[in-house]
Structure 1
Amino acid sequence: MSSNDPRAQELEEPFRLPKTYTESLDAVTSLSMLMAGGTLLTRNPYGAWIAVFVAIGGFMNQHPLRTKDGGQSWSSIM
């Protein structure tokens, strides 16, 4: 075979799993947790709905980064 043939045995590489994803913590996640805590302290029922909507928005707008360490994508909901 020729040297630039992709099927050549010397060009083979072992299989490697891709690196895992992790998300960067942003202000929306922190705001969601702060609003949920404030709602518990003030017992405001409408604040709970706002915290839920902000948490769902933060979850939908996450952008994962390529890193070696794995992360949890549910941090904004919890």
Structure 2
Amino acid sequence: MSAITGDDPRDASSETKLTFPDSWQVEESDPLSASVMFASGLIIVTRNRYLSWPSLLLSINSVINQHPLRTKEGGNSPLSTLILAVCALFASYIPMVMLSVGPNQTQTPLPGA
């Protein structure tokens, strides 16, 4: 059997030099990650449990869809967005655990309520 010329992968004449693209960096920030960070900060302040779960899911989405070769050196890391969303989830549910009313305790109304 004869080999087809130019089809041999060991042929040195078909080698090409490895070249990388000029730039993979994206000069703009990730708007989804920035909005999730803003929402997580808002959740920490307001302790809104219903918004903390979507914020956590969107931060997981930003971690999954990150492109490490496209990020700038000083840019926001999706991992920091995930950590802030987990802290927001923790901050929204911790008052339910810490401020629970036991069977022998009575809940006093807040002033002005």
Bin of the TM-score, shorter chain as denominator length? 0.5 to 0.7
Within-5 A mapping of 1:15-34: 25-34=29-38
Task: Give unmatched runs, 5+ long, in structure 2.
Answer: 1-11, 13-24, 84-113
Query: Which amino acid is 1:76 matched to?
Result: T
Query: Which amino acid is 2:69 matched to?
Result: L
The higher relative CO (CA closer than 8 Å, separation ≥ 6) is in 1
**TM-score, L = length of structure 2:** 0.39
Query: Which amino acid is 1:77 matched to?
Result: L
Distance in 2, Cα, partners of 1:66 & 1:41? 32
Larger-gyration structure (1/2): 2
Which structure has greater strand proportion? Answer: 1
Identity %: 32
Q: 2:56 aligns to what?
A: 52
Q: Over the residues paired in the alignment, what is the CA RMSD in angstroms?
A: 3.3
**TM-score, L = length of structure 1:** 0.53
- 2:65 equivalent among 53, 61, 64: 61
CA contact (8 A) 1:29 1:75 kept: no
CA contact (8 A) 2:62 2:78 kept: no
Q: How far does residue 66 in structure 1 lie from its aligned partner after superposition?
A: 6.1
Secondary structure of residue in 1 paired with 2:69: strand
Which structure has greater helix proportion? Answer: 2
Number of matched pairs:
59
Q: How far does residue 76 in structure 1 lie from its aligned partner after superposition?
A: 2.7
